[in-house]
Amino acid sequence: MTQFVLRRVLQGLFSILGASLIIFVITRLSGDPVVLMLPPEAPEALVQQMRERLGLHLPVWQQYLVFLGDALTGDFGTSYRWDMPVRDLIFERLPATIYLASAALAFSLVLSIPFGVISAVRRGSWFDRFAKTVAMLGQAMPNFWVGLLLILVFSIHLEWMPAFGADTPAHVIMPAIALGWYPVAAQTRIVRSAMLDVLESDYIRMGRSVGVPEGVLVWKYAFRNAAVPLVTMMGVYFASMLGGAFVVEVVFAWPGLGRTVVEALFARDFPVVQAGVLFAAIMFVIANLLVDLSYGLIDPRIRHDR
């Protein structure tokens, strides 16, 4: 078990390193931030001086090593745009993104679990078709489009929901739906097909043969088995929520890491983009690690095997 965790942590570190390297190179390819920071008529000497101050005159690999070395000491540089330490900026914005991604994931599960379970129990029924339609709709529409639609209907037209910002708990509802609707189709499919298998199993028949009520068989004894494949995919879904947050946060003016990084990208605010992506990668690795640890909790065979 300890060995398994160590292996996973090591793999995670490599992923983080890889992600940071890729984003580092890409930002450097996107153009020169100094051009955006200084007025067009600024003298060449000033531009050069600025580059040197930011360390941009060094070869890219040296810049990367400097970045890594600083990052290890917790120093992510200063934002060109907001003019504050990147670390403070990230720690200010990251919680909002985690909150949104978690709310979106929760929303997707609140839909997909009952959808999948009931569709399996009543396969071929109107509910099965209804659930499939609702789930597919979320997959067919891009999340920003769902977001705009929600704003149009519930904020502008009906005036029920706040559209922008994160001032009240209600603010998270629409962005969470826009973000969380997409994976519902895939999750419903996973739950449904796992439930179909499990409901056919000998142990469910055994439970039925000793008089365990049908509802208990489905929601307790069958579901826990069927949840295993869903849980193993949770890290992937959380990651896709983090990724989707970059767009949805812009649509809803959500004060999270995603919107910050997108704005930073347009401003060629390299330190913010690099640190933002690095933290997203760290979140991704942590989420996957938690998932790997958690399905041992659900399935004792995995727990004992390791």
Partner 1 sequence: MTEMSPMDHAPADQSRTDQPPVLDVRHLVTELRLRRGALRPVDGVSFRVGRGETLGIVGESGSGKSMTCLSLLRLLPRPGGRIAAGEVLVAGTDLTKLSEKELARDWRGRRISMVTQDPMSSLNPVYTVGDQVGAPLRYHGLAHSRAEARARAADALGRVRIPSPEARLDDFPHQFSGGMRQRVVSAMAIACAPEVMIADEPTSSLDVTIQVKMMDLYKQIQEETGVAIVLITHDMGVAASICDRIAVMYAGRIVEQGPAREIFRNPAHPYTRALLNAIPKLGEKSKRLYALGGQPPSLLDMPGGCRFAPRCTLADAKCLAAYPGDSDLGSGHRAACWRLSEEGAPDAA
> Are 179 and 241 a contacting pair, CB within 8 Å?
yes
> Residue 211, interface with partner 1 (CB under 8 A)?
yes
Using the rule CB under 8 A, which residue among 224, 266, 294, 306 binds partner 1? 224
For the CB of residue 73, give the shortest distance to partner 1 in the complex, in Å.
45
230 phi, psi to nearest 5 deg: -70, -45
> Residue 304, interface with partner 1 (CB under 8 A)?
yes
For the CB of residue 102, give the shortest distance to partner 1 in the complex, in Å.
25
Compose the 226-265 pattern: x for residues touching partner 1 by CB under 8 A, - for all others.
Answer: --x-------------------------------------
> Residue 213, interface with partner 1 (CB under 8 A)?
yes
- Piece of 13-21, 42-50, 134-142, 211-219 that binds partner 1 (CB under 8 A): 211-219
Structure tokens at 99: 């909150």
For the CB of residue 121, give the shortest distance to partner 1 in the complex, in Å.
11
> Residue 299, interface with partner 1 (CB under 8 A)?
yes
> Are 47 and 38 a contacting pair, CB within 8 Å?
yes
Residue (157 or 304) nearer to partner 1, CB: 304
Angle at 15 between CA 59 and CA 57, to 5 degrees: 10
DSSP letter for each residue of 188-236: HHHHHHHHHHHHTSHHHHHHHHTT--HHHIIIIIIHHHHHHHHHHHHHH
d(CA 121, CA 124): 9
Residue (129 or 224) nearer to partner 1, CB: 224
